Amino acid sequence: MITFNNAAEIVLSNSLKSEGEFVPLSEALGRVLAQPVYADRDMPPFDKSAVDGYACKAADIVGELKLLENIAAGFKPGKTVTAGCCSKIMTGAMLPEGADTIIMVEECEDSGTSVRFNGKSLKSNICYKGEDIREGDKVLETGTFIKPEQIAILASFGVTNVFVAKQKKIGILSTGDEIVEPDAIPTLVQIRNSNGWQLRAQALRAGAIVNYYGIASDSESSLREKLGKALNDNDIVILSGGVSMGDFDFVPAVLDEFGLKTLFNKVAVQPGKPSTFAVKYSQDGSAKKVVFALPGNPVSCFVQFELLIKPFLFKSMGGEAPGLKADLPFKSDYSRKHTERLALIPVKIDSDGSFSPVKYNGSAHITALNGANGIAEIPLGVGNFAAGEKVKVYILP
């Protein structure tokens, strides 16, 4: 059985090829940049006032300053500020020639024709041309995940057509004779399909195009038919259920039939031990399509998507999955009996930065995740932790 880290390495080393496309700025949110962005101008583009105030010479502020003009943002100053004079200036307006300081309106008395500074300390209140960014500077790297902050940068430098990685297509297929869709009234022995919907939502949130294939029954023919369709239409297929050692777990055999090479089917992780990863290679030896077959329990599916599939998806778009793993301390002592697998447990991170495991009965316990905001990685081989000891915690988006 391979370790989870090893599984992650295998997955990442089989990432798909990334292709680029242009999208309008209005559709760039959540995409991955496929080329760098350079500043087309200095920022600020001119010496700019940071406040509403009066532009003057610092040496003059002890006396009364004669008012020359009112400079609004978006207009060029008309007059040079000479000794004993000032011009009223709005935030974002251009500094007039001759001025080296802007005194704030809040610290001035304005008679209408002259101004007197009655403040205590003097600051320049000027943002100088190019102090933030120089024309030609690289402002965004290839592979950057585009959030609202990056939208502002793209907009500032006039990038209205953004070259981003094409979205990957992900097909979602649930398996199991006991599984029915959420709108059905289940019989006593049936379970509503939570995985399919959860995985669909996770894939959408990660910026993929999602195709949904419903539920395959536990028969080779049903699986063959639905998996065939999903493989045909998508770059990535995520299956849930049917990979365990049960009598009706046909996934491994059917993956073979489609010419997929299974690179692992057992990982020393809990939950998610039977997680399976299979690749269809192109002629040139690169990965063309992949299948992640996950065990059926919803918490397994959730954590395996977040920690295994999402990094793969972003790498396949030339980027890195957003999100943070931090070394955080246990709030209280913690111990576990079995240590032969890495445990991924839902936890609640407090505002003081420490975390506590949430009540969690196992990987079918879907409501456990509702109260969690992190997944702690309890390392293999270690059973006991004292309060304050740190482990890696993945902070849930």
Q: Compute the least distance from the CB of residue 181 to Mg ion, in Å.
A: 16
Our finding on whether 214 is near ligand AMP (CB under 6 A) is: no
What amino acid occupies position 63?
A: G
Q: Choose the stretch contacting ligand AMP; rule: CB under 6 A; options: 59-67, 116-124, 290-298, 380-388.
A: 290-298
Pick from 101, 150, 234, 240 the residue near ligand AMP by CB under 6 A.
Answer: 240
Alpha-carbon distance 49 to 31, whole Å?
35
Pick from 53, 207, 241, 272 the residue near Mg ion by CB under 5 A.
Answer: 241
Pick from 176, 196, 318, 357 the residue near Mg ion by CB under 5 A.
Answer: 176
CB within 8 Å of 217: residues ≥ 6 apart? 175, 176, 177, 223
Residue 96 or 176: the one with the smaller Cβ distance to Mg ion is 176
Task: Look up tokens 């190019």; give the residue.
Answer: 130
CB hemisphere CA count around 292 (13 angstroms) = 34
What the block records as the tokens of 304 is 């395996």
What the block records as the tokens of 338 is 């079995």
Burial class (CB in 10 A: 0-12, 13-18, 19+), 118: exposed
Q: Compute the least distance from the CB of residue 176 to ligand AMP, in Å.
A: 4
What the block records as the tokens of 217 is 């029954």
SS3 label, residue 253: helix
What the block records as the tokens of 384 is 């006991």
What amino acid occupies position 36?
A: P
Our finding on whether 196 is near Mg ion (CB under 5 A) is: no
Residue 53 or 296: the one with the smaller Cβ distance to ligand AMP is 296
Our finding on whether 81 is near ligand AMP (CB under 6 A) is: no
Residue 203 or 293: the one with the smaller Cβ distance to Mg ion is 293
- Contact partner, 85, from ligand AMP, Mg ion, none, Cβ < 5-8 Å per class: none
Q: Compute the least distance from the CB of residue 296 to ligand AMP, in Å.
A: 2
What the block records as the tokens of 209 is 């195009």
Our finding on whether 316 is near ligand AMP (CB under 6 A) is: no
Our finding on whether 44 is near Mg ion (CB under 5 A) is: no
The string of DSSP codes covering 175-202 is: E-TTEE-TTS---TT-EE--HHHHHHHH
Residue 105 or 201: the one with the smaller Cβ distance to ligand AMP is 201
- Contact partner, 263, from Mg ion, ligand AMP, none, Cβ < 5-8 Å per class: none
Footprint of Mg ion (CB under 5 A): 176, 241-242, 296
